[in-house]
Structure 1
Amino acid sequence: MTPRAELSGAPTTGTGDAPETPGVDQLHATIQRIAANVEQVLVGKPEVVRLALVTLLAEGHLLVEDVPGVGKTSLAKALARSIDCTVSRIQFTPDLLPSDITGVSVYNRRTESFEFRPGPVFANVVVGDEINRASPKTQSALLECMEERQVTVDGDTYPLSSPFMVIATQNPVEMEGTYALPEAQRDRFTTRVSIGYPDPKAELAMVDEHAGHDPLADLRPVADAAEVHGLVQAVRQVHVSTEVRRYAVDLVAGTRQLTELRLGASPRSTLQLVRAARAQAALAGRGFTIPDDVQAVAIPVLAHRLVLTSEARAARRSTTDLVRQLLDRTPVPRGDTERERG
């Protein structure tokens, strides 16, 4: 079966001459350009764009979950096109096979050997449209890619390019013809965002500006893979004090004590919460994190990883509300989190 993918963009950056790591000011300027570019397509949703950029800077993967028609795919495409790098798109369908994503080994009669033909996952940005329309077996083909940045086929391992980001969209599991994402799959997404319906003013602006043409067609890259790689390196240098690290651990550990949950957040959640907090601090123009950074990303990072008990589902509790309550009652460090450096 031919992979359902569209491959485009410039060659990926190699591991050779790495660009100089930018400072916080340069990082902020570059991210503002990317944000402004994406907001040309996704009108009136700056918070959603912010979380998408936090995920990019945190070396993570983004899950966009909402009902059809609110701009899930447009967000994914706009972010991908704002970066001049290799981009592939996978339309997930029930008949899609794992090899359609990762690639397949094909026998070459001329050389009398097997050759690996890479799948669409071999790109800097992979846009997975309606990921929950594929079977769990096919969804699981992304597990190794997202966590280890590599693909193993027939015993051979192939590294993926850097930067590497999966932006997946999905409809709510209650929609007809969808499969719920396995817990292991959800846990590999750094953040989950819901776009929601635009307010009347933003919707009117969208009708005025977008009714006559496709804004994606006019979108041009404002950064490249080398710049993004440099931004990621800069975010890694953002300082996280002992107090902030302990605060993140307390929040994640608190999810494991909630009686409404059958499954709390994993240790991977703690690592990704701290990475996202670093990215949030960098977006704010700081070289150090504060508790507010953790709070700003806690719900997008943690809520989708939690599994409610049947009683909690019957009572119509939501994981978002539980994380919000946990934030309210977890003690916030009041010391000088800027004091401890390096």
Structure 2
Amino acid sequence: MVIVLHPSATQAQIEELKAEVEKEACSIWPIQGKFILVFGVVGDTGRLDRDRLLNKTYVDKVLSVQEPYKKANRMFHPENTVISIEGAEVGGERLAVIAGPCSVESEAQIVGIARQVKESGATLLRGGAFKPRTSPYSFQGMREEGLELLKIARQETGLPIVSELMSIQMLEQFVETVDVIQIGARNMQNFDLLKEVGKTSKPVLLKRGLSATIEELLMSAEYIMAEGNENVILCERGIRTFETYTRNTLDLSAVLALKRLSHLPVVVDPSHAAGMWWMVEALSKAAIAVGADGVMIEVHNDPTNAKCDGAQSIKPERFAVLMQSLRELARIERRVI
């Protein structure tokens, strides 16, 4: 249920309404907009008398929410959420560009790429220290050493860092080290991990699962938000379909759907979607055109010899050219890079 208050509602009236709602074992989630105050009500809302609520002079509307996700629902939060990350923003007028290698391989590699993508206009640095791989024999990342190298890259460039968390055991170290915790596609429905991340205030980039529906993605975001962490960024990274030519199938319609259903920012990862470097540029442009709040692009200085996902990584020089195109496209879409 959503209760929209009249702008003239006094603090005493607000407290009265909160007490009445909480008396019926429901919890209140207040959202303060520029001109209105909205109460998102979670719990057994069937116990609340809708007509009685509407009879209050300071209540403007009472709306039912049919979807199982509440806090991620745009009905609860009509305005777009903008998440601040150490000077960068995701969800506002300025588009976020997250760039860097799939995995951290050395200090020279991550620092060098960080400097190059920042010079081209990237706003955040991505880099995997812990890598979930299909094969147990594939490179699994530099782990704790990789996190330390990401810290060096941040110190050298000022770029906030995004890195994937795979286990609850590493959560404390990630909270201390990274600026955005990434929950990968394979862990999208690791609910224990989502709950623990939700108990922090660290921004979370939540990737859509390989075969997850849009509602399942939003319910995973709900797990995080239900624990108190509202700083969630949704990521469309391609889903598994019958098509085998590309690594995954990029669902650009999901961006439109997510922006309609939820107030949370949405970014697109064209690199993991296509799995082919020569598709990344066009798909990045398409993501901006359909209204994504940013893109996440894999950039590697030597893709041929990359230890992970070199085939989908573009070189820093191509990234620089792509950024020029994205700036022009952003301007057309009334956004800024």
Please give the TM-score of this superposition, normalised by the length of structure 2: 0.27
Higher share of residues assigned helix: 1
Please give the TM-score of this superposition, normalised by the length of structure 1: 0.27
Larger RCO of the pair (alpha carbons < 8 Å, separation 6+): 1
